[in-house]
Amino acid sequence: MSKSLQIPVGYKSALTLRETQHAIKYIKDVFQQALSFALTLDRVTAPLLVQKGNGINDDLNGVERKVEFTIKEIDCDAEIVQSLAKWKRMALYRYGYKVNEGIYTDMNAIRRDDDADNVHSIFVDQWDWEKVISREERTIDFLKETVASIVKAIAFAKRKVNLRYPQLATTICDVPFFITSQELEDMYPGVPAKERERLIVKEHKTVFIMQIGGKLKSGEKHDGRAPDYDDWSLNGDLLFWDEVLQDALEVSSMGIRVDAESLEKQLKECDAMDRAKYEYHSKILDGTLPLTIGGGIGQSRLCMLLLEKAHIGEVQVSVWPSEMTRECAENGIVLL
């Protein structure tokens, strides 16, 4: 068996292929309406590609290779987006959004260096969202309130799906447990970060791990974060317990975004002050861009969780290693 593939013992999808396709649409219809209502968001269109070298593409951990290509009639190279973390904040500024107003969009990306396993694909689809906030709302309490609203929307979608497909049996805990990455490391010293996540999520079912990006007391990071969108003291990951895989499943990464002070601090920490020359970064440093909160919610991962699937390829069409495709077929995991 491929070491990156998990085969749950006795797994069989509760839904047929056709039911699965219907259910995916139903989840997307129900959840995005619930999200829009909960956070006061307008749906907007968004780019699949951006100009190379303009600083607007997400650098993720700074090592992932972007998919890039030349354009016949334009004297520049283009890149497929890795996420819309920076583009959304610029859009709020350009469109004239005010405090407590925001946007969401369907984001499709290619991350060529991502793993291929039960929960990772090189094709990434998210609801990317961003909202203008006031200076007074740049707090942990406001972050927690926003997380709680998103969790309520996800739990609502799960209840609706279970009513339509009664063969689905799991539920979503709609009260998130909050913990910082340092508190989690202190709780499980010497345990790898992903295993710490599994242990805390197994206990509390719905968990938001806060303050991700900086180094912990151990000298290690809980996880990587680019220095130029989230404020590392005001961000986090939302995870749910996946009963099928018996593991923690990260569904969303989000946070209050950097202001001038935190951007400069984090760029210096990452030796990335050269990015200050880009329009996005300079407009944060001079206070032009609005203060915002935002994040991404994985569409395929949410569908996978709500439909009780064992592999993300059961709810999205992508490209997989041939050995993985074969092993899935042999074990009743039908990839789309």
Q: pLDDT tens string for the chain (336 positions)?
A: 445 888 898 899 999 999 999 999 999 999 999 999 999 999 999 888 878 877 777 766 666 787 787 887 787 888 888 778 889 999 999 999 999 999 999 988 888 777 888 999 888 999 999 999 999 999 999 999 999 999 999 999 999 999 999 999 899 999 999 999 999 999 999 999 999 999 999 999 999 999 999 999 999 999 988 899 899 999 999 999 999 999 999 999 999 999 999 999 999 999 989 888 888 899 999 999 999 999 999 999 999 999 999 999 999 988 888 888 999 888 989 898
The one catalytic residue in 58, 79, 231, 242 is 58
Cross-strand partners of 292: 132
Q: Which one of the listed residues 13, 83, 253, 316 is annotated catalytic?
A: 253
The CA-atom distances, in angstroms, between 141 and each of 155, 178, 205 are 21, 11, 21
Give Cα 39 to chain centroid, integer Å: 17
Confidence (pLDDT) at 48: 85
Q: Is the pTM of this model over 0.85?
A: yes
Instruction: Report the distance separating Cα 209 and Cα 216, nearest Å.
Output: 13
Instruction: Kindly give the residue spans of alpha helices, DSSP state H, lying in the chain.
Output: 17-39, 85-95, 140-164, 181-187, 193-204, 260-269, 279-285, 299-306, 322-330
Q: For residue 114, indicate whether it is catalytic.
A: no
Determine whether 137 is an active site residue. Answer: no
Rounded to 5 degrees, what are φ and ψ at 274?
A: -65, -20
Asked whether 55 and 280 are in contact (CB, 8 A), the reply is yes
115 in active site? no
> Hey, what CATH topology would domain 17-330 get?
BirA Bifunctional Protein; domain 2 (3.30.930)
Give the residue carrying structure tokens 């999808």.
13
Among residues 197, 237, 308, 314, the one annotated as catalytic is: 237
**Gap between the Cα atoms of 37 and 32, Å rounded:** 8
Amino acid at 43: R
> Is 58 annotated in the active site?
yes
Token pair, residue 55, equals: 């600083």
Per-residue model confidence (pLDDT) at position 4: 80
